A and B are shown apart, each in its own frame.
Chain A
């Protein structure tokens, strides 16, 4: 019964969140970003004698596409999640839904999945499509490698979404919540643009910790899962990015998500008051 109710609610939420033109904007944004990462065919030809190298280039391509999609994902996730919570609170829809026999736990979960699931799926589809554009002759391998993007995207979208939801539940006003969630996520995403190798070379004190930021950590987790060797020279062999394993980075991401999600979930379930 509750599963059926949850699915019906999820369908309605997805329809609301992804109503025109949100889906179109997201797809366009992701397409623009991913297009830049299509590998030039000459690069493939030059290595075509080595199937192992092809696989590693393909893995790097998967990593590059996911990395290029990060900005649109961060922006859309923060905006849509805060919009979903704050707008529903402000418009009275949350009040209306919670006046029916719907549990708060279910509404919270549905709202999260309505934003995170389509974005994670879009990430996987885009990765498959854009890596497949170059490596169309090995569709199964493309599919296999691009699948790694799914859990990584899911985890870091949960993190971005948690920030969006947290801001929305505190601010409770649509426009300020959307702007704040966007700015906070953007500020947290920004360190991913710093190249670790350069930071090390310049002796920056934070260089060793860049890989521990939620967004960089997600990319390192993906790279390590795909077997990509970190782009840090051997002189920094004890750097965390090299010494920690894929499992460590996966666990770190789960910890980041849990730190935000669990208290937020409990707060919404037990204490949040709807008094708009």
Chain B
């Protein structure tokens, strides 16, 4: 199963490595990890996505809670949260493919941020499953390079 953890941590040197180290040491997977300051500059928010069986996901939450630098751990449910990820990719094009690529971008709400004579940089801000399908669709056109931020998420209020 998938576990999405929203973790508030002290914004201090070494906290990221301590948290990531915990995953490595205990053999937990990190599917993605995104970290940034919150509105309080002393606190950072880490969004960690992991997979494992129920006991593992449960242990991750407990082990994170045990860390002194961890202020709060929340386990987010995908349907009850807004999950977003930013994707950037450089795609090669020619006169025949350009139009098709643009069309896909339009349908999926992706934005072309830069164009050169041979390639364009596309950005897409969407939920992880849309990002995945966008990559699949663009793949045949020739992805030169690609970067993803990893998921960040917030829980919806009732």
Partners in one complex: no
Chain A residues engaging chain B, CB cutoff 8 angstroms: none
